[in-house]
């Protein structure tokens, strides 16, 4: 029962976070690139940052509780642990990208100031919001694998 409640919180925060990220990618970023109402998009950017920040910490907190619940109360298989460690590793990457994006939103530099080298461009792909979205899809897939491994071990 407790697991279901925490899972509900985990999934709600994921929905808020993914929704915010899609809004950022599909609406806010194209608008700020075209410099349409820069002040408005900067203001919305800050709200996006707050929602994204809170959601991500709720996801991590509830994720830790879910992990504790599974690891303490169940006879967990090694494969479950391996997938969980990979999932947490990818979440760390997601958080680092988020912190970088939040920093950029706060600084709000015009794109024309940045003249990236090739190494910088690769870094920007590794740390981009697009990569974050791909990682989120992989993490959700890993969560499904966790559920399958757990159900099989019952």
Query: Which positions touch ligand HEM (CB under 6 A)?
Result: 10, 14, 59-60, 63-64, 66-67, 70, 88, 91, 94, 136, 139-140, 143-144, 146-147, 150
> Residue 113: is it exposed, middle or buried by C-beta count within 10 angstroms (0-12/13-18/19+)?
exposed
Which CB atom, from 50 or from 144, has the smaller least distance to ligand HEM? 144
Least Å distance, CB 103 to ligand HEM, is: 19
Q: What SS3 class is residue 35? A: coil
- The sign one gets for the Cα dihedral 138, 139, 141, 146 is positive
20-54 burial code (b ≥16 CB/10 A, e <16): bbebbeeebeebbeeeeeeeebeebbeebbebbee
Of 69, 67, 49, nearest to 59 by C-alpha is 67
Which CB atom, from 31 or from 95, has the smaller least distance to ligand HEM? 95
Least Å distance, CB 126 to ligand HEM, is: 17
Nearest residue to ligand HEM, scored by beta-carbon proximity:
63
Least Å distance, CB 28 to ligand HEM, is: 20
Least Å distance, CB 21 to ligand HEM, is: 10
Which CB atom, from 36 or from 73, has the smaller least distance to ligand HEM? 73
Which CB atom, from 93 or from 104, has the smaller least distance to ligand HEM? 93
């Amino acid at each position: 029962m407790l697991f279901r409640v925490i899972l509900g919180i985990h999934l709600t925060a994921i929905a808020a976070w993914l929704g915010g990220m899609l809004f950022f990618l599909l609406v806010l970023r194209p608008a700020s690139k075209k410099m349409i109402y820069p002040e408005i998009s900067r203001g919305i950017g800050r709200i996006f940052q707050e929602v994204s920040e809170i959601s991500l910490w709720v996801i991590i907190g509830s994720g830790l509780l879910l992990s504790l619940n599974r690891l303490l109360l169940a006879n967990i298989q090694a494969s479950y642990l391996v997938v969980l460690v990979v999932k947490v590793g990818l979440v760390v990457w997601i958080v680092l990208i988020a912190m970088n994006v939040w920093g950029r939103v706060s600084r709000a530099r015009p794109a024309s100031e940045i003249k990236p080298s090739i190494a910088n461009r690769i870094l920007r792909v590794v740390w981009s919001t697009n990569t974050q979205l791909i990682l989120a899809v992989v993490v959700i897939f890993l969560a499904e694998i966790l559920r399958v491994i757990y159900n099989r071990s019952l």
